[in-house]
Structure formats: structure tokens, C-alpha cells
Amino acid sequence: MSPALFDILTGRADAADPRGALSLSLQDHLQRLLNARRGSLAHLPGYGMPDVAKLYEALPYSLEPLKAALRQCIEVYEPRLGQLQVRQAVAPGPGVGRLQFEVSGRTACGQLLRYLVCFFSGGNAQVALLSGEAAYA
């Protein structure tokens, strides 16, 4: 599978390592997608996540709705990642102020990719490519 057109146009696609370029392209798009809020794009009103800060206010009752919204958002707007799985990951410690999820899936060429998605109490998301086993809650 080739990298996204955006990556090719910006010169970020690496022809020598297409699998690495694809994982970085996916990471970059997930970062933008999960930091966008639904309704912020007139031509794609469903693009992005619901207001994560509001979901934080309803914790722990909003944990499953947040997980479901995360899964739905990626399934709809990132078709390069199939067989999607979303699991809550163990937070680094009490009082950290973030929720962590492991998102894993396979590309069309069969490459398994795993990302750690951290939602902070202000609503921002950070996406990192995982390079090892993660713990689950």
C-alpha cells in the first residue's frame, strides 16, 4: 500500500521504506483526526472526535462512550487501518490526567500496527507508534 497523497506532496513519503512511511503517515493522520472536533469542518461534519473535555467531566461513566467514539472515528476516516481493535491501556500512575488506549489494526498488505492514543484532560490527543507489548486494563 502506498503512502497518502498528502505525504507524497509534502515530501514525507519514504520510497526506500514504504512500510515505515505508511505507519508514520497513519500516525500523523490519526493525530490530526483525533484532535479535530466534530462539526469543525463544514464539508465533513462528522470528521473528528466529540468534545473530549466534556467526556472527561462524566468519567468514569463516559469511558465506554469515549472508546466507542474513538473506534468509530478511526473506522470511518482511516480506511487504511482494518481489523481495528481498541483497548484501554494502563495509565502511568494516579493523578496523571490522561486516558490511554491502544489502537491496533492491519494494513491492506497485512502489516500489524499498534498505536498508543493518549487523551489529556484538556481534550487534546497524542498518538505514538508502539514498539512493544502494552499492558491492558
Q: Examine the pLDDT at 39 and tell me if it is beyond 50.
A: yes
* Residue boundaries of the structural domains of the chain: 5-129
Task: Output the average pLDDT for the chain.
Answer: 81
DSSP 111: -
Q: Give the sign of the dihedral formed by CA 15, CA 31, CA 137, CA 63.
A: negative
At 86-135, the pLDDT tens digits run: 999 876 656 567 889 999 999 998 999 999 999 887 778 999 999 533 33
CATH code assigned to 5-129: 3.10.450.40
- Distance from C-alpha of 53 to C-alpha of 62, rounded to nearest angstrom: 11
